[in-house]
Amino acid sequence: MHNGREIMSPGDIERSLDRMACEILEQVPAQESIALIGIQRRGVDLAARLCSLLTSKTDRPIVCGELDINLYRDDWTTSVSTPNINATHIDFPVEDKTIILVDDVLFTGRTVRGALEAILDFGRPRAVKLLVLVDRGHRELPIQADFVGKVVPTSRTEQINVFLMERDGQDRVVLG
């Protein structure tokens, strides 16, 4: 069903998320200002896991939101299909927050550009930092992640598929 070479196992994903949670706590000393926002779809699942990890490591609740960037895409007017709109739930003020924007794969940077534009519609955060499970290169915009689970050099024709238990019934990352 998921052909390709496995580049991250369930254990690799778990260790990467734990390491990145520790890196967040090292780089954002004002822990009460941390808020996570996951980009629909799998970024939301990863953000929820990170939120639980950070809450357990700090003994304080960390807020977490969901962001759909489909209406902020720079290609949706030229796309053959209508964008599939998902939910956006950000029920906390972003002002004075250090937003950790979470996505599964960083490729061209266009999704992140759309997400930044969408977040600014909610207010002006103190800072926005990007966390991705996999960075595959090939940027078209000057965007880089602050927290990376794994860097995987790819060709433009290759594809990275992230499968998460919450959505797919398994945890793994496959290069195909």
Domain range for 25 is 12-154
Cβ partners under 8 Å of residue 140, min gap 6? 108, 109, 110
CA–CA separation, 36 and 85 (whole Å): 20
Mean pLDDT confidence for 152-166: 97
Structure confidence at residue 79 (pLDDT)? 54
In a domain, 159, yes or no: no
170 lies in some domain: no
Residue 171 lies in a domain: no
Number of domain units in the chain: 1
Is the residue at 174 inside a domain?
Answer: no
pLDDT at 32: 87
Residue 175: inside a domain, yes or no?
Answer: no
Q: Please give the pLDDT value at position 76.
A: 54
**pLDDT (0 to 100) of residue 31:** 85
pLDDT single digits (tens) 64-119: 999 999 877 665 555 555 556 678 999 999 999 999 999 999 999 999 999 999 99
pLDDT band at 51 (very low <50, low <70, confident <90, very high): very high
- 3-class SS letters over the chain: CCCCEEEECHHHHHHHHHHHHHHHHHHCCCHHHEEEEEECCHHHHHHHHHHHHHHHHHCCCCEEEEECCHHHCCCCCCCCCCCCCCCCECCCCCECCEEEEEEEEECCCHHHHHHHHHHHCCCCECEEEEEEEEECCCCCCCCCCCEEEEECCCCCCCCEEEECHHHHCCCEEEEC
The domain that holds 143 is classified in CATH as 3.40.50.2020
Q: Please report whether residue 109 resides in a domain.
A: yes
| 164 assigned to some structural domain | no
Residue 86 lies in a domain: yes
Confidence at residue 139, expressed as pLDDT on a 0 to 100 scale: 96
Average pLDDT over residues 146-173: 97
